[in-house]
Amino acid sequence: MSGNDSATTIDIVCLGEAMGQFVPDDGPLEDATTFSLGQAGAESNVAIATARLGVRSAWVSRLGDDAVGERLLKALAEESVDTSAVVRDQEHPTGIFLKDPSGLSRKVSYYRKGSAASRMDRGDVDRALALRPAFMHLSGITSALSDSCDDAIEYALESAAALGITTSFDVNYRPVLWSDQNRASARLSALADKSDIVFVGLDEAEILWGAADADAAAAHLSGAGRVVVKNGAESATVHSPAGRWEVPALSVDVVESVGAGDAFAAGWLGGMIHGVDDRMRLRCGHLMARTALTSLSDHGERIAWDALLADAADPAIWVRR
């Protein structure tokens, strides 16, 4: 794995909100009578998926001192994710959301206002950094939760840079969380430019910055060391100091799309931590995204690193049909 193992105790720490996820078991949300309760949240999704790839992963946040929070901690522990720096809040609840299975379209109802995670601040960042990670993963969702969260994300990026920790930032633009699109455009761009690695969907880049293609999106985010642009079912592209790589997406019968972007980021980051090159990281990202796209869960079927690497290296899988 990359990084100085003698100086780090964690390969990657992910900082952000996790929520209880309710998914109907018997049809659309409006008609369902039974539900399953699981765990979700962009950063905790990445922590789980990278842990499954044999990476030493940690997740840092705040949870309510409630049953949902306890359940999330147990779910993360079962996936071998370090949660030692998570704080329990006795005054604010754990957020929840409801998924409505809907294929490629997103139908999600969030109940996160005033959540424990929205109270995160620089102290949470300091606890994450105290784990001595080689990588830190963040997202634009956290920036939109509150002023203290927004400040914490910028502080995290600046502090990690000072400590030599590689940062990754998933733009993860969620219009419902931002009161003003222009503010979101400027803020997410500024945070991305402070990051070593940026993940962005081409659809997001078009809305936020008017980017017509992957090259335009990467040009707008030229302050970042590497820019990974995801173009849905078409392809993914990485722009890095070593050059530009593009890998076509896999053909997938989509069950539900929420969580696929997190899975992609986890595959790409897992590949980087394991030491494979940019093109192989893109392939790992596509393969991990496929596991999420074919499941009602954000996480999908478990796949070990050796199996993922074998599929990433198999030329037959990557012939565009």
Say what the pTM is: 0.92
Q: Which residue has the tokens 């606890």?
A: 127
The helix/strand/coil state of 238 is strand
Sort 248 into a burial class: Cβ within 10 Å, 0-12 / 13-18 / 19+: middle
User: What is the distance between the alpha carbons of residues 114 and 35, in angstroms, rounded to a whole number?
Assistant: 24
| Cβ pair 297, 247 in contact under 8 A | no
pLDDT of residue 256: 66
Tokens linked to 94: 């754990």
DSSP assignment, residue 218?
A: H
Long-range Cβ contact pairs of 101-110 (< 8 A, separation 24 or more): 101/23, 101/24, 101/28, 101/255, 101/256, 101/296, 102/28, 102/256, 103/254, 103/255, 103/256, 103/257, 104/254, 104/257, 105/257, 106/257, 106/258, 107/29, 108/258, 109/29, 110/19, 110/176
Tokens 């699981």 sit on residue: 38
pLDDT in tens, 138-166: 999 999 999 999 999 999 999 999 999 99
Segments in 130-276 forming alpha helices (H)? 140-145, 147-163, 181-193, 202-209, 214-220, 260-274
Q: What are the φ/ψ torsions at residue 3 (nearest 5 degrees)?
A: 95, 160
pLDDT of residue 106: 55
SS (H, E, C) 163-200: HCCEEEEECCCCHHHCCCHHHHHHHHHHHHHCCCEEEE
Q: What is the CATH number of domain 10-318?
A: 3.40.1190.20
Rounded Cα distance between 142 and 87, Å, is 16
Quickly tell me which residue has 């962005």 as its tokens: 200
Residue type, 46: V
The candidate with the shortest Cα–Cα distance to 201, out of 179, 225, 174, is: 174
By C-alpha distance, which of 305, 245, 321 is closest to 50? 305
Residue appearing with tokens 């502090």 = 159
pLDDT at 297: 63
Q: What is the largest CA-CA distance in the chain?
A: 54
Which residue numbers in the chain have pLDDT < 50?
A: 1-6, 103
Q: Note whether 208 and 185 are within 8 A (CB).
A: yes
Sign of the alpha-carbon dihedral angle for 39, 43, 44, 49: positive
pLDDT of the residue at 181: 96
pLDDT value of residue 133? 97
Which pLDDT score, from 0 to 100, does residue 2 have?
42
Looking at residue 205, its pLDDT comes to 98
Q: Please tell me the predicted confidence (pLDDT) of residue 1.
A: 45
* pLDDT, tens only, 14-47: 999 999 988 888 877 778 888 888 888 999 999 9
Query: Which amino acid is present at 243?
Result: G
Which residues are known to be catalytic? 262
**10 Å Cβ neighbour count for 218?**
23
